[in-house]
Amino acid sequence: MKKEDIYKKFVLGILFVFPLVVYLFFASGKNNFAKLPILTKGVHEIENLKFLVDQNPALKNHITIMGYWGGSLENKQAEALNLNEKIYKRFYEFADFQFVFFVNQDRLLEVDRLKKTLKEGVGTDLSKWNFIPASNEEIQRHFNSLQTPIELNNDGSTPYVFIIDKDLNLRGRNDDEDSGTLYGFDARSVAQINKKMIDDVKVILAEYRLALKIYNTNRKK
Judgement on whether residues 22 and 83 belong to the same structural domain of the protein:
no
**Segment 146-176, tens digit of pLDDT:** 999 999 999 999 999 999 999 999 999 999 9
Read off the CATH number of the domain in which 155 is found: 3.40.30.10
Q: For residue 24, what pLDDT is reported?
A: 42
Asked if residue 139 and residue 94 are part of one domain, the reply reads yes
The verdict on 65 and 24 lying in the same domain is no
Q: What is the pLDDT of residue 208?
A: 87
Name the E strands within the chain.
38-40, 63-70, 97-104, 129-134, 160-164, 170-171, 173-176, 180-182, 185-186
Q: What is the structure's pLDDT at 137?
A: 93
Taking only the tens place, the pLDDT of each residue in 78-118 is 999 999 999 999 999 998 999 999 999 888 889 988 988 88
Residues 77 and 127 in one domain: yes
State which residues form the domain around 1. 1-33
111/203 same-domain check: yes
Number of domains in the chain: 2
Give the predicted TM-score (pTM) of the model.
0.80
Q: Which amino acid is at 154?
A: N
User: Do 95 and 200 reside in the same domain of the chain?
Assistant: yes
Coil, helix or strand at residue 82: helix
Residue 200 has pLDDT above 50, yes or no: yes
Q: For the chain, percent helix, then strand, then coil, each to nearest 5?
A: 45, 20, 35
Looking at the structure, tell me whether residues 92 and 175 fall in a common domain.
yes
Q: Are residues 80 and 182 in the same domain?
A: yes
Residues 62 and 21 both lie in one domain: no
83, amino acid identity: L
Do 95 and 153 belong together in one domain? yes
Residues 6 and 107 in one domain: no
Q: Are 205 and 198 in contact (CB under 8 A)?
A: no
Comparing 5 with 46, the larger pLDDT belongs to: 46
Task: Please check whether residues 12 and 42 belong to one and the same domain.
Answer: no
